[in-house]
Amino acid sequence: MTRPNAQPVASHFIDGAYVEDATGAPIPVIYPATGEVIATVHAATPAIIEQAIASAERAQTAWAATDPTERGRILRRAADLMRERNHGLSQLETLDTGKPLQETLVADATSGADALEYFGGLAADVTGQTMQFGGDWAYTIRRPLGVCVGIGAWNYPTQIACWKGAPALATGNAMVFKPSEATPLCALKVAEILSEAGLPAGLFNVVQGAGEAGAALTQDPRVAKVSLTGSVPTGRRVYAAAAGQMKHVTMELGGKSPFIVFADADLENAVSGAINANFYSSGQVCSNGTRVFVHADLHDAFVARLCERLSGMVMGDPLDEATNFGPMATADQRDIVLRHLATARSEGATIAAGGDAVDGDGFWLSPTVLTNLTDDMTCVREEIFGPVMSVLRFEQEDEVIARANDTQFGLSAGVFTSDLTRAHRVVGQLRAGSCWINQYNLTPPGLPFGGSRQSGIGRENARMAMDHFTEVQSIYVGMTPVEAAY
């Protein structure tokens, strides 16, 4: 196996330097393609958590007072370093997650760099309002929140660290970031690069650990905000813990998003969209369009062409750039998906493609297409978070809108049609934070991203993310003498 020589040198990154505390519980880092242990990190002890929060708190006041143009310049320098080192960082992301290098080269460090560059450019443009009240007037300023905590899922470790870190830092906050214990390496490289780009010590600290470390950070009274990317059950726990101290939250949670293909859609384009919406990153994408509603007139042709196109899938060594389909990130996740497939079979689903684990080392599953489904089946209702597409038939526009909205989630949705009016009419009725028309899962940093209903609260990316990392202070200016009753 090719090993990048860029592995982080210790478990945590605090106050501008790598820090080790081997008394923390060991966490093996497993390469999902082979099951091999490629590194070991240690979970944060209470002393490490204390160091991380204390150093963030110390650093934040001076950072908030730093000229925002300078804050932005540091973020943009970090973006340049990430792009220069994209190849090594992508290899590390592949080792951390199992995602093929073909994907990580274009979707991870590059997407992190886009966020750093975007928010770096906006840092000096955080503005307030002025209001006139007769002779008196008022103005508002946006103030940073202070120490913010970022908690990440395991599917996009570099991107999540940057999507949270960049807007937090651009607006004058400090961040303590805890990656998923399944993918602990990449966020450390983000911290290292930010530091090399000139970020003062303490402003972006990374600590390792499982849920307990996240919970300890969430409950610390010095923390003003928690931004979580994770599942709905974890979101509920973290939101509840944050509410106890009235902390700000952003919750980027799970989904079971509808992907609607009307009869007038371009078939090849819709199949391409559905492949990306279900099998990219082996299906481990929160916003995936996993309930694929296809108009009855197109259904059979769609399924046939989809299964044909799956023969172009190349499963193999993820570090080989020819590979375009990787393993599940963890053995646990593979087992969860296999249990879902067993349930789907027992509830009467037809397996039109895939449906099995792949023999050998590592956590491999074949891309799976399920048909002959009804909306009440478990595979149609629950997030599977693996390469499993459920294809459903529909007849009428109103019917498909109602069925698409019949879910507790509300993260994303896609509509494929050549009827422009219908496309806008339909997305206008879908209860989903992010919708795509004739495209899927593109998330440029200038477009807000996030969910409604159980899929989350708040938005990442765009100016909105900066609003979520600041709070408004209103200042009333009296211009005339105060009139008092006595």
Q: Which residues bind ligand NDP (CB under 6 A)?
A: 151-155, 178, 180-181, 210-211, 214-215, 218, 228-231, 234, 237-238, 252-255, 286, 383, 385, 411, 451, 456
**Shortest CB 64 distance to ligand NDP, Å:** 26
Q: Cα(63)–Cα(124) distance, rounded to whole angstroms? A: 13
End-to-end CA distance of the chain: 84
Q: Closer to ligand NDP at the Cβ: 236 or 424?
A: 236
Q: Closer to ligand NDP at the Cβ: 81 or 153?
A: 153
Q: Closer to ligand NDP at the Cβ: 180 or 417?
A: 180
Q: Residue 13, exposed/middle/buried by CB under 10 A (0-12, 13-18, 19+)?
A: buried
- CB contact at 8 A, 322 and 333: no
**Shortest CB 427 distance to ligand NDP, Å:** 19
Handedness of CA 213, 37, 107, 387 (dihedral sign): negative
For residue 211, the one-letter residue type is G
**Shortest CB 153 distance to ligand NDP, Å:** 3
Q: What is the DSSP letter of 45?
A: P
Name the catalytic one among 252, 379, 383, 435. 252
Q: Cα(439)–Cα(274) distance, rounded to whole angstroms? A: 9
**Shortest CB 244 distance to ligand NDP, Å:** 12
Q: Closer to ligand NDP at the Cβ: 116 or 303?
A: 116
Q: Closer to ligand NDP at the Cβ: 64 or 210?
A: 210
Q: Closer to ligand NDP at the Cβ: 112 or 230?
A: 230
Q: Closer to ligand NDP at the Cβ: 170 or 286?
A: 286
- CB contact at 8 A, 224 and 380: no
**Shortest CB 366 distance to ligand NDP, Å:** 21
Q: Closer to ligand NDP at the Cβ: 104 or 234?
A: 234
Name the catalytic one among 162, 186, 286, 435. 286
**Shortest CB 257 distance to ligand NDP, Å:** 10
171's CB contacts (< 8 A; 6+ apart) are 123, 126, 142, 144, 466, 469, 470
Q: Cα(288)–Cα(370) distance, rounded to whole angstroms? A: 15
Name the catalytic one among 164, 178, 247, 256. 164
Q: How many residues does the chain have?
A: 486
**Shortest CB 402 distance to ligand NDP, Å:** 24
* Residue whose beta carbon is closest to ligand NDP: 214
Name the catalytic one among 103, 181, 192, 460. 460
54's CB contacts (< 8 A; 6+ apart) are none
252 as an active site residue: the answer is yes
460 as an active site residue: the answer is yes
Q: Closer to ligand NDP at the Cβ: 54 or 210?
A: 210
**Shortest CB 229 distance to ligand NDP, Å:** 5
CA 310 to chain centre: 26
Q: Which residue from 255, 215, 213, 216 is spatially nearest to 234, judged by alpha carbons?
A: 215
**Shortest CB 364 distance to ligand NDP, Å:** 18
Q: Which residue from 6, 54, 51, 53 is spatially nearest to 24, judged by alpha carbons?
A: 51
Q: Which residues are catalytic?
A: 164, 252, 286, 460
